[in-house]
Homo-oligomer: A and B are copies of this chain.
Amino acid sequence: MSEGITPREEDYSRWYTDIIAAAELADYAPVKGCMVIRPYGYAVWENIQRALDQMFKETGHQNAYFPLLIPESFLKKEAEHVEGFAPQCAVVTHGGGKELEEPLVIRPTSETIIWSMFRKWIMSYRDLPILINQWCNVVRWEMRTRLFLRTSEFLWQEGHTAHATAEEAEHEARQMLGIYQKFAEEYMALPVIPGQKSEREKFAGAVRTYGIEAMMQDRKALQAGTSHNLGQNFARAFDVTFQDESGKQEYVWATSWGVSTRLIGALIMAHSDDQGLVIPPRLAPIPVVIIPIYQGPEREMVLAKAQQIAQQLKDCYQVKLDDRDQYRPGWKFNEWERRGVPLRIELGPKDLAKDQVVLVRRDNNAKEVVPIAALQERVKGLLEAIQHSLYDRALQFREKYSFYIDDYEEFKNTLDTPGGFIYTFWCGSSTCEENIQEETKATLRCIPFQNEDGEGCCIYCKKKAHDRVIFARAY
Contacts and interface: CB of A to CB of B under 8 A. Distances in A.
Interface in A372-407: none
A141 B96 CA distance: 5
Contacts of A92: 90-93, 106
Contacts of A64: 36-39, 42
A62 B34 contact: no
A103 to B, nearest CB: 8
A250 interface: no
A65 B37 contact: yes
Contacts of A71: 30-31
Nearest to A62: B39
Given A30-B116, A31-B70, A117-B29, A96 B65 contact: no
A128 interface: no
Copies in the complex: 2
A96 B88 contact: yes
A137 interface: yes
Most B C-beta atoms less than 10 A away, residue of A38, A90, A141, A143: A90
A31 B103 CA distance: 11
Contacts of A94: 90-91, 93, 103
A29 B107 CA distance: 14
A300 B64 CA distance: 35
B93 A91 contact: yes
A357 interface: no
Given A31-B104, A93-B93, A97-B87, A65 B113 contact: no
Contacts of A89: 95-96
B66 A29 contact: yes
A240 to B, nearest CB: 14
A67 B104 contact: no
Most B C-beta atoms less than 10 A away, residue of A88, A139, A155: A139
A27 interface: yes
Nearest to A151: B67
Given A31-B104, A68-B137, A143 B96 contact: yes
A43 interface: yes
Interface in A55-106: 62-71, 74, 86-97, 103-104, 106
13 contacts: A27-B120, A34-B68, A34-B69, A36-B65, A39-B63, A43-B62, A68-B106, A68-B137, A69-B153, A87-B97, A95-B141, A95-B152, A96-B142
Interface of A: 27, 29-31, 34-39, 42-43, 45-46, 62-71, 74, 86-97, 103-104, 106, 113, 116-117, 120, 132, 136-137, 139, 141-143, 152-153, 155
Given A27-B117, A69-B90, A136-B137, 4 more contacts: A30-B71, A31-B71, A67-B153, A96-B141
